[in-house]
Structure 1
């Protein structure tokens, strides 16, 4: 393995560990609750705690990398992730697990955007960078689906605490490999951190994630939290426009390519994550499979993500937006297929369509979103990853909430329809943004 390929592998492994953290505890939740005598309310905080830390602080993580150096901040994020993992591994109560999960989410927010900037900085525009982005997105897609499988298998065979001790070992190995393989030029920009914008953004993200998570139990509470989030947005916009150190440079928002990439990044994870989670529940509820067996049934999706990302790397040159639209269309068609005919054969075909759509669509979204000036790479990476994590955190919770709110038990059809509808809405948004003009002097998009 040559040095460039080894470097890409190590950086993508950071993405794998951090993104798998979103779903790896899902299958372990019942065992965790039983062992620590926790309440369902406490268990309901475990996944959102990670999502709030992850989605809420990605932009701050990107800005920290710009100010302090991307490799240094990435290594700090890995150390913090290990600390959060230890807190979870030794947890004597569910409250410790919630605190550890929040710390892990914050660490992931610090690590992911800086890893992406290092990946982009280590490759030349063109085929080399497209291959690297394909590997990055294939890793993310695999990680999300693998978390459901790995969490179930490890919990059943070795116990849920092993999940977190394995995280500690993985982060130690990654830190050593990054120190040895990742050479980076000093690209620091000494800009002050904008605490006001960070606080407003975290509050807004927290309200959105909380609204999605309570939708299944109280639509009134979800509506009130949504109102809070909507009220915070204008305050954040005013703050960003008035400060000398915005979290996102204003010129980023004037680039249709970047905006389209961000919308697409949200849509790809929002649709496929919802589809995979609802389908996993269907295998358990309708087919009586164990969590581990249900996780194994998701493997066609995982393999298709890798194949799709490899194809995406070859297809995106000069036509990233059509490839993104194609990916979203495949996802929507797959979700609609199981609504019409929920059989095992159709389910496998739909998972393949979703996986291919995820692979080619994510590569296209990141290609669009990262076609910016070098000093904007950190902000673009933060935006793309924030959108992706919010897509998972918000739409999975909302999809499950809708599925459980319609009739007794889980109405899987409603969940799949949510994924298909989201794909259609995001596709329309990408096409609308495509009609906007790119400002003179901006990178092509």
Structure 2
């Protein structure tokens, strides 16, 4: 079994554990808080993610671009922790003040002051783990944090303490547990912190920031717009629909995490080949998982979440085409970062966000969560098509090479349906052939580490 195959199997298995725990949490919060409270909880999380996207300044994208220089890697690892804390401390007060001015309680704003720095550090360290090809660290940290989160939500619900605010605080604690694990496993050395490199990383990230903000805000701004233009109840329905969408993306996200270091390192031709294999596998994985969930949604949602959330089924069906399209484009996004063409990436992402906001402002007041989901599905499909088209043009690749071949279809079907997959074939999808894997030296042996 190749290293890629082992990483893929472990990542999918870890995502299965996380998904099962998250599903329990989602059901408990939905049944306890009902649509109104679930909507408030979803809006709080969306605000926190908006703080991460806006305040992180896309420094994690700068890490990807600078990672090719092995000598910078120890400093990049240390900077991920220190810079993340600094950016979070600077961003959180602005987010908290905006919440107070918008009518949120002081207690919600106080939790947000802690949530934003934790999220930014989490984002930076996740990037380091992936670039160091340490998917197992990322998987284990997420699993541990999610299990602690699940247990705490269950305890709060049984004690009768679970409210939207408490649920958000427990979600913040989950992120903190994960960050603590990452720090322990990655062992960033503070003496390696390089303030000049930190400025350079942020500078590179800023070139991608507008595009990344636009991409990351697409799903977050939808929840906020549904809450503002319709109701928090409709936002709750939309939040459950997006939870199902996250389930459909599990195999693809596992694939992207394994493929990412292979796309960033090595020569251009190999990176193109790895990207094409990942795109083809992602397409089939997303098609199978999204199609299966579409078939089960009408029975699954009322059974699991209750009749109050039956209205989430149609929004999810509207989101499904966008889920498949966005999954195909995920590996291409990493390759576009490698090419260092920030304004191309930015123009596509900004255009998609403008289209999303404009159409949602027209459709949400009349159609609520369903109208928002239909718009998002269309916008994600358009964005993915644009990114794929640019990739084909930039690399001179025929469009037919994006279409999966039968051996890859068999692998993707197995991985998506059984979570373990056919591991020898899975290795061929990602790596193409067995290659010797060089052990990554420990931190004290390296002259550099991402």
Q: Give the TM bin, normalised by the shorter chain.
A: 0.3 to 0.5
Q: Which has the higher helix share?
A: 2
| Greater RCO structure (CA 8 Å; 6+ sep) | 2
Q: Structure 2-normalised TM-score?
A: 0.44
